[in-house]
Amino acid sequence: MKTQEHRGVSGPWRLGLAVLVGLALWGSVACRSGKPAPPKTKDMLSLAALTPVLGEAKDTSSGLADFTQSEKEIILSYHIYLTDRTNADAEIARDLAPKIRRLYGHFESVDRASFEVSLPDTASSVGWKPYVSFVLTRKIVKETGWSDLLDVDLLAVAIDVKRAD
């Protein structure tokens, strides 16, 4: 009898206490797993992150030349290398449409992108001359159903289309 007194709790009380401790531990683990996930962080947009999606403008390769970001949109300076400008609008659409799909598919935080497209110009000191600027939103791209409409008639689907002089 004295050995049971030294141990403190005996018999069914010990079992009850063990069950209570087990339930408390299980409850604390369940509460921790029920916490909401941390909010998603915005995509880190940078020239280095965007270049694999849009390509890099260099030499005779079309691609992203520069990038800036404001509160409402990203602004992409895009150089397209064309030797023949007779069908420039169609060539711009053919070149940019798949890249625009990748842009919106890869960066969830991009809702509005402003493009400033320049063409080669040997008379210019910088070698490029602005041709057209336009805006595309995620909503517009989704409404086209990611179809070939962007490939064929990009500038008709875009908003705020402004042609350079």
Domain ranges of the chain: 2-33, 47-163
pLDDT of the residue at 65 = 95
What does pLDDT average to in each consecutive run of 10 residues of the chain (165 residues)?
A: 54 58 52 44 76 91 93 94 87 91 90 95 84 93 69 84 89
Longest CA–CA separation in the chain, Å: 107
Residue 64 burial by Cβ neighbours in a 10 Å radius (0-12, 13-18, 19+)? buried
- Collapsing DSSP to helix, strand or coil, 134 comes out as strand
pTM of the model: 0.70
Question: H-helix or E-strand containing 77?
Answer: strand 74-79
Positive or negative torsion for Cα 101, 103, 104, 105: positive
Is residue 53 within 8 Å of residue 76, measured between CB atoms? no
Pairing of strands 74-79, 159-163: unpaired
Q: DSSP character for 112?
A: E
d(CA 99, CA 91): 13
Is CATH 3.30.70 the classification given to domain 47-163? yes
Q: What pLDDT score was predicted for residue 101?
A: 87
Reduced to 3 states (helix: H, G, I; strand: E, B; else coil), residue 35 is coil
